[in-house]
Amino acid sequence: MSTAPISLKGRALRLLSGREYSRLELERKLARFEEVPGSLAQALDELQAKNFIDEKRVVDSVVHRRSAKLGTARIQQELQGKGLDPQAVAEAVSNLRATELTRAREVWRKKFGEPALDAKGRASQMRFLAGRGFGGDVIRRVVVDAPDEMFED
């Protein structure tokens, strides 16, 4: 029993059923299956017209999934890599900056839970947060300046 090959639109819908993808991501993933030049663009145009591909949903999805663990810089890099509208990325980044200190403190608390006892320990904690994409000023406020105020609740 042979099965009919899956159309480009079918492949795109299968991908979109798992999570939100930007148009650029779908183009990258599906380019190798395009047999007729222009057919991929046509299929994606149809899906976009029916609102199956939506940049705002992609931005919201990434921010929702990643903001609890990553800093603004890493999320911005991820959004830019998806080929999204620079204005939408800038707006999301602006909103993330407002909560960066709170998010960094929560990531730090989950990983370390208590202030480092020496400079080596503080440096390790700072590298961890930097690797997660948090900004230097936020890292200093979390690790160096105010670790005690996190435990005053």
- Tokens, residue 55: 């940049």
Tokens (6 digits) for 14: 């299968």
Q: Which residue has the higher pLDDT, 121 or 2?
A: 121
**What 3-state class would DSSP assign to 123?**
helix
Q: What's the pLDDT tens digit per position in 85-131? A: 999 999 999 999 999 999 999 999 999 988 888 999 999 999 999 99
What is the Cα Rg of the chain in Å?
21
Residue 150 has pLDDT above 80, yes or no: no
**What integer best gives the mean pLDDT of the chain?**
91
Rounded CA gap, 143 and 119, in Å? 11
pLDDT band at 153 (very low <50, low <70, confident <90, very high): very low
If one looks up domain 1-53 in CATH, what number appears? 1.10.10
Q: Quickly state the pLDDT bin for 144 (edges 50, 70, 90).
A: confident
Higher pLDDT, 80 or 1: 80
Nearest CA to 122 out of 148, 143, 136 is that of 143
User: So what's the pLDDT on residue 111?
Assistant: 94
